[in-house]
Amino acid sequence: MRVDLVAIVVDDYDRAVEFFVNALGFDLVEDSPSLTNDGRPKRWVVVRPPGGETGILLARADGEHQAAAVGNQVADRVGFFLQVDDFDAAHERMVAAGVEFVTSPRTEPYGRVAVFLDIAGNRWDLLGPPEGNRAPADR
């Protein structure tokens, strides 16, 4: 058993794809035309971190109720966690790509962490291994 996809409600497919693929370095797994239950056009857009198992379905908000959830899907808490092997390199690349960090990097017992916002305004933790505990390929 595994979680295959989680959905993030966004206001625009193309801006969301641009953010996840170019700023975060995710792979675009699928971008296919689809239809809503009542026959209106939509897209099935899935991104996934390289080597990751769980993908993200980028779901464009449909109606006022869903639009109100854009950027606040977990009530202003950190709700998504991006684990990387080399925190400093990932942080530097993301800053250069214009990703907005709302906290400075800090060291916790579980590793290096900084909070950033995705294209919709949801809070994410960028997580790296504890200092001196990088993956063997990064040493």
- pTM (predicted TM-score): 0.88
Which residue reads 């709700």 in tokens? 79
Are 76 and 52 found together in one domain? no
Are 51 and 107 found together in one domain? no
Region label for 95, one of left (φ > 0), alpha (ψ between -120 and 50) or beta (otherwise) = alpha
CATH number, position 9: 3.10.180.10
Q: From first to last of the 139 residues of the chain, give the pLDDT tens digit.
A: 999 999 999 999 999 999 999 999 999 999 999 988 898 899 999 999 999 999 999 999 999 999 999 999 999 999 999 999 999 999 999 999 999 999 999 999 999 999 999 999 999 999 999 875 554 444 3
Are 58 and 20 found together in one domain? yes
Of 28, 46, 69, the residue that ends a domain is: 69
Are 81 and 57 found together in one domain? no
Q: What's the domain range around 39?
A: 1-69
Paired with 46 in beta bridges are: 30, 57
Q: Are 119 and 15 in contact (CB under 8 A)?
A: yes
Q: What's the pLDDT score for residue 132? A: 58
SS3 103: coil
Q: What's the pLDDT score for residue 129? A: 96
Distance of alpha carbon 64 from alpha carbon 88, whole angstroms: 39
- DSSP characters for 50-74? TT-S-EEEEEE--SHHHHHHTT-TT
Of 14, 44, 69, the residue that ends a domain is: 69
